[in-house]
Structure 1
Amino acid sequence: MAGFTEKGFKLEASVAGTMAGMLPAAGPAGAAIATVIGGVAFIMEVLEWLENDTSVQDALRDMQKQIDGIIFVLNLLDQRMDELVNQVAIESNRQTNRDLLDYLDEIRTANLALQSPARDLEAAVRTANEAGITLDKFIRNDFDIWRWTDVVSKDVFNPQTGSTHAVTSLAPQQFKHLPTLPVYAMAVLTWLAAREKVVQLGAKERLDDDAGRIARHLAAVSVRPGFDKYADGELGAPESIAENIKWQIRAFAIAGSAHPVNRVCNWFFEVQNWMDGDLKRGDHFDLTMESDHVLCTVDPATLGAPSLELDAESASGIDMLQGLAETLEHVSSAGTLKKPFIGQFPTTEVYAPAVLYVIAQNADLHWYRNEEASRPGGSAEWKGPVKIGNGWGDFTSVFSGGGAAVYGIRPDGKLMWYGHDGFFEGTGKWRGEPREVGHGWQGFKSVFSGGEHVIYGIQPNGDLIWYRHDGASYGGDVTTWAPSVKVGNGWGDFVKVFSGGGGVIYAIRQDGVLERHVHTGYLQGTLEWEARDEIGTGWNGFQAVVAAGDGVIYAFTRDGKVLWYRYGKRKKPAAGTKWDWKHIREIAYLEPAPTRETAVTDAVWKKIRFTDIPVLPDTATDAADWKKRQFIELERNPLITELMTMTWEGPVEIKRGLPGFRSVFPLMNAPFRGPN
């Protein structure tokens, strides 16, 4: 399907489009280039080889094959420049293409020099510095080697004849990923290989402008935190190679009709790649409207990135550039490609997983589990996605009440209970039919779960109302509720309010400030609160933010990334202690903590409940075993260190490529069940 440029002109001919069309017909060379651009696997494989002294030659030979293949395709491209029709475009692009071929000759020469087994220090230093100079050419003069001239057309109306006709014109200096990106990738890899040889010869200080070059190219392949190609202002203007590529790929949500049919608007995404003119449509979804007499409208900022957009970015090199960014960041900090050996040592801490439910744009319900969610530095280990349901798009709000209890609020205000018995393992095991357990819930500004079957509702006047569904473990009905209680006011101006359980409630203000509130009376609905605390800023730019247990917060960016944060205390575990999170719910500690000067008997016994740990319904241990586990830490180490002060960790990117969604919510804890 013919595409357009960012200014709405029809793209008649472009170098990027011509090369993209050539690759399938270019045999092995074309396939190799597509592999370099679209997948990070090749880059990571070469880098892994370069880290190992015994496989460096394999890496260099593989790079040589890629370089020769790119030269072959660029020569073919030079022969097909005449397809651009316009002579100015032909000459401009042919000169840029020949500059690229000159760069490739320099890269090829450096690669051949590196394949020499001789340990000649002077030759190694010279090759590394020359490879660095070649690499820097790719980021000079506002990325001029990435800019090409397109031939575009637009329809012009003739008032004398009353007709329109197409007028072609030139669009110079257009940023393109092809054909420059694969050449740049080879330049980076060749320079890294040449640099590493000098480092291993112990002459790192002889590398010209080494730190500056690393910093320049790390910035060139990275995406700034907060960059949003759809935003106005500084954060919406591309500055790096990666940002320029992302900026040129746009997704637009398009309604199938102007008005709903039976209150339903059918939507799809149109993804335009302004670099090569590619245009795709898909990722259909439905939205339920108030009536058939309104327009089909949606705020694009609430939709996130569709799969088509993420796939287009990946195919255009974003994943590959991310891999290079991670490597350059490591080289910047460690000084070498080699990674230190990290041994496996027994741990004294066990970190609970966090389960997330995601309602996709097509209303399917997906299950994810982030293993060891509160581990220092976050965890990139995930299970899922697993599709566990469909038809979840008709609710105005969906949340976990704790354990198997999942609630959905219908537009008419009915509160429906669903029992998801497969909540921990991600199976599609649901408990019978849904139950109507409440009505009148459409009047709240927002509703969120506090975990342990506690639910909060914020009324339009800002009052915070506490509820507890005592029938949540089996479904119950409209009568199985504790009396509601007003537990606060002034909650109506927040952009987002959510909880991680245990009485901790987070609130994001209009100015992006994140507040932390602790409702110590959350179990019984009493009015005890700790003092409010402002703990962060800049929290109003995400598609979604949710909290899990133990201070973990997940922020979802509009380009499909999941960022991990944690705000809380870290406890130094006792040596040799092993905690089984499936059973241990409580430990004892001493306050004040005993020191070498004070006796254990002078301290007061205290207990900590692990409210952040998911509890399987109706499970308990016998009293004798419970008491043994309850004091396990004191038995192993009587001198327990004090808890650390509250502190932030993150952000850490723990997942990418998550398609846009309607909503996301965490699995909350069921009520604590100990022995009677």
Structure 2
Amino acid sequence: MRTSTRWAALAAVLAVVASTFTATTAAAQVPQPYCGTVALWGVEQSGRLSLYLHLGAEKGDHKWERRRFVGTGWNGTVLAGNGDVLYFVPEGTGELRRYRWDGEEWETFDGAEYEVIGHGFDRYVGEGRTLAVVGESFIGIDDTGDLRIYKRMNDEWTNAAGEVIGTGWDVFDRVVPSNGEDYYAFDSDGNAYLYRYNSYLKQWEIQAKHIDTGWGDFTNVVSAGSGVLYATTTDGLLLWYHYHYGWAYDGIPRHVGEGWNGVTAVVSANICSPHPG
């Protein structure tokens, strides 16, 4: 779908009301994932951290609980793991920290609000690089273009040096890993590609499958798993997409939020399931 078509359609949707949007025939062919309540974390440029609970993640409805401020000083790279676990690489360091939110406050580790579980992860921070987590698997793409996976089990690294599963990934502006070992890759022209890896066979099952155009204007794209993607626009809109061998609502985004100017959205890529394989 071309950018002009997508944004013209979105404008028409917003001119009515997002909640009154009627699904097309194509939407009915895309199976609905199970997401429950999706925790979206918002990191402001000042380092202030907020928690947003999206109640309409399965269909792309504009339904939320009230935003809650949960911390300051989050200047750096923030990742969301399983449950209420966050990982953080502070600016100017390669230290990988683990935090856990219990719903009211941050749990403590020997008196501190976090525990350090790794070092040297700054190699994956910066323009053209990727640092992400799916469950307890950390995905990094450095300036060489190598795609490397680090895995943890029972609070221990199972492959401290990481495993290279791909090369040449520096050609993409943005890479968004998801559950089901899917990777959504976006180039400088706004093209979206799907990759899928099989860690058991140690081979790629899907490579460079072109699935859309017009993704070059977003300030941020994150996956909640099972083909559910959130994207933020330059004017602060939060949009919802769902992909499964085709796009829900014929690729027309669902407007699910606003006020995301200067806010980086962070979400666990393991929330929605089952993954439409």
TM-score, normalization by structure 1: 0.33
**Which structure 1 segments of 5+ residues have no match?**
1-222, 228-242, 244-321, 334-347, 569-645
Aligned counterpart, 1:365: 49
Aligned counterpart, 1:390: 72
Q: Tell me which of 136, 139, 151 is aligned to 1:453.
A: 136
Contact 2:241–2:253 under 8 Å retained in 1 = yes
Aligned counterpart, 1:258: none
Aligned counterpart, 1:416: 97
Aligned counterpart, 2:26: none
Contact 2:181–2:197 under 8 Å retained in 1 = yes
2:38 aligned with 1:437, yes or no? no
Contact 1:415–1:437 under 8 Å retained in 2 = yes
Aligned counterpart, 2:169: 491
2:71 aligned with 1:469, yes or no? no
1:361/1:224 CA distance change after superposition, 3 Å: farther
Whose radius of gyration is greater, 1 or 2?
1
2:195 aligned with 1:517, yes or no? yes
- Local SS of the residue matching 1:531: strand
1:501/1:448 CA distance change after superposition, 3 Å: farther
Q: Map 1:56-455; keep pairs closer than 5 Å.
A: 226=7, 325-326=15-16, 351-375=35-59, 378-393=60-75, 395=76, 397-410=77-90, 411-422=92-103, 427-432=104-109, 433=112, 434-444=114-124, 446-455=129-138
Per-residue CA distance 1:137-172 (angstroms, 9 max, x = gap): xxxxxxxxxxxxxxxxxxxxxxxxxxxxxxxxxxxx
Q: Map 1:573-592; keep pairs closer than 5 Å.
A: none
> 1:504 deviation in Å?
1.2
Contact 1:401–1:455 under 8 Å retained in 2 = no
Structure 1 counterpart of 2:96, one-letter code: L
Contact 1:407–1:416 under 8 Å retained in 2 = yes
Contact 1:464–1:487 under 8 Å retained in 2 = yes
Structure 1 counterpart of 2:82, one-letter code: G
Contact 1:374–1:550 under 8 Å retained in 2 = no
1:491/1:420 CA distance change after superposition, 3 Å: same
Aligned counterpart, 2:25: none
1:224/1:531 CA distance change after superposition, 3 Å: closer
Aligned counterpart, 2:28: none
Question: 1: CA distance between counterparts of 2:146 and 2:16?
Answer: 47
TM-score, normalization by structure 2: 0.77
Could you tell me the percent identity over the aligned residues? Answer: 28
> 1:669 deviation in Å?
3.1
**Runs of at least 4 residues of structure 1 off by over 6 A?**
none
Question: 2: CA distance between counterparts of 1:517 and 1:384?
Answer: 35
Aligned counterpart, 1:503: 181
Structure 2 counterpart of 1:534, one-letter code: H
Question: 2: CA distance between counterparts of 1:451 and 1:402?
Answer: 8
Contact 2:231–2:240 under 8 Å retained in 1 = yes
Contact 2:124–2:131 under 8 Å retained in 1 = no
Aligned counterpart, 1:109: none
Aligned counterpart, 1:589: none
Structure 1 counterpart of 2:205, one-letter code: E
- Local SS of the residue matching 1:443: helix
Contact 1:555–1:563 under 8 Å retained in 2 = yes
Contact 2:197–2:206 under 8 Å retained in 1 = no
Per-residue CA distance 1:42-73 (angstroms, 9 max, x = gap): xxxxxxxxxxxxxxxxxxxxxxxxxxxxxxxx
Contact 1:401–1:449 under 8 Å retained in 2 = no
Contact 2:131–2:138 under 8 Å retained in 1 = yes
CA RMSD of aligned residues (A): 3.0
Structure number with the higher helix fraction is: 1
- Local SS of the residue matching 2:122: helix
Question: 1: CA distance between counterparts of 2:33 and 2:247?
Answer: 19
- Local SS of the residue matching 1:442: helix
Question: 1: CA distance between counterparts of 2:191 and 2:181?
Answer: 20
Q: Map 1:518-533; keep pairs closer than 5 Å.
A: 518-521=196-199, 527-532=202-207, 533=209
Question: 2: CA distance between counterparts of 1:511 and 1:372?
Answer: 31
Structure 2 counterpart of 1:660, one-letter code: G
Structure number with the higher strand fraction is: 2
> 1:224 deviation in Å?
9.0
Aligned counterpart, 1:669: 270
Aligned counterpart, 2:236: 560
Aligned counterpart, 2:225: 549
> 1:664 deviation in Å?
1.8
Contact 1:403–1:668 under 8 Å retained in 2 = no
**Which structure 2 segments of 5+ residues have no match?**
23-31
Structure 2 counterpart of 1:390, one-letter code: T
- Local SS of the residue matching 1:517: strand
Aligned counterpart, 2:29: none
2:260 aligned with 1:658, yes or no? yes
2:247 aligned with 1:648, yes or no? yes
> 1:374 deviation in Å?
2.1
Structure 2 counterpart of 1:430, one-letter code: E
Per-residue CA distance 1:558-600 (angstroms, 9 max, x = gap): 11111111101xxxxxxxxxxxxxxxxxxxxxxxxxxxxxxxx
